[in-house]
Amino acid sequence: MASSVRAPQWVSIGQACLMLGVNPATLRQWTKMGKVRVFRTPGGHRRFSAAEIEALSQSADLEPREALARGLVADLRAKYRAFAHSPAAHHGWLASIDENTRRRFHEVGDELLAHLGEYLTDGSPRQRQRALGRARETAAQYGMLAREVGVGTTEVVGAYLVFRRPLLDVLARSLSTRPELSSQLGRIMRDAERFMDDVLVGITEASASALPHHAREIRGHEPTGQGST
């Protein structure tokens, strides 16, 4: 019996979780469902067949992170399309901008979604860092566009937070409906939150820069000064 639990044929529950990208609770649930077999050592410790765990990790039963992330971004894109026509997307200063400016904001938003997809699916740390850098540049464009139409930092951050909520909603719904993928979805959620935090910093920094002179004309304000009437 002792020889049957030696590495490399057998792995612990912790090693099996790392190989599968799931948490211990999910793996225990799978053993109860008969999806994966569990063996016990004479001391009562769980052991799993390394070959079986490896085969399961490569099977269609475990959705790769890339496919999972792409599906989430696609869901998010559809949610934003619907959200763009909701009353919340035409509230406050968003209600006062013209259609051309609204289109420009949508284009920047689409670029940010594309960068999010790149960041979540790129394999190497260098690729992910590049995607994050491109996202910061696009976020700065968003902040500068807001400044062009005379929108203050507080207002643009408020609007950004409104548009950030659908991301959290999509991830939370996926976590509740697909508990077997909680580990992968948890990592994606953490990465997405980091991405969105960096985007917020980029927007805020650009929005907080000096207000261009011509923005006053766009918003219909007169120059300030002692001689103004």
User: Is-contact 49 209, C-beta < 8 A?
Assistant: no
- Output the pLDDT for position 58: 67
Least confident of 7-21, 96-110, 130-144: 7-21
- Is 165 or 104 the better-scoring residue by pLDDT? 104
**CA angle at residue 160 from 200 to 116, to 5 degrees?**
60
- Output the pLDDT for position 1: 39
Residue 105 has pLDDT above 60, yes or no: yes
**Element (H or E) spanning 169, and its range?**
helix 153-177
Which of 16-25, 73-82, 110-119 is the most confident on average?
A: 110-119
- Angstrom distance (rounded) from CA 146 to CA 137: 14
Nearest to 191 by CA among 148, 144, 131, 138: 131
Please state the rounded mean pLDDT for residues 195-205: 93
Peptide bond into 8 cis (omega under 30): yes
Please state the rounded mean pLDDT for residues 83-99: 78
- Output the pLDDT for position 204: 92
Please state the rounded mean pLDDT for residues 58-82: 75
CATH number of 8-58: 1.10.1660.10
Q: Band of the pLDDT at 80, cuts 50, 70, 90?
A: confident
Task: Name all contacts of 52-58 with Cβ < 8 Å and 24+ positions apart.
Answer: 53/11, 53/16, 53/19, 53/20, 54/19, 56/20, 57/19, 57/20, 57/21
For the chain, give the percent of residues with pLDDT over 90.
15
Please state the rounded mean pLDDT for residues 34-63: 80
Please state the rounded mean pLDDT for residues 147-159: 87
Residue 163 has pLDDT above 50, yes or no: yes
Cα Rg of the chain, angstroms: 25
Q: Where are the domains of the chain?
A: 8-58, 65-214
- Is 132 or 180 the better-scoring residue by pLDDT? 132
- Output the pLDDT for position 226: 42
- Output the pLDDT for position 34: 83
Give one DSSP letter per residue of 60-84, joined into a string.
TTS--HHHHHHHHHHHHHHHHHHHT
Q: Band of the pLDDT at 195, cuts 50, 70, 90?
A: very high
- Angstrom distance (rounded) from CA 150 to CA 45: 65
- Output the pLDDT for position 121: 81
Which tokens hold the place of 196? 């969105």
Where are the extended beta strands (E) located within the chain? Answer: 10-11, 39-40, 46-49
Q: Band of the pLDDT at 3, cuts 50, 70, 90?
A: very low
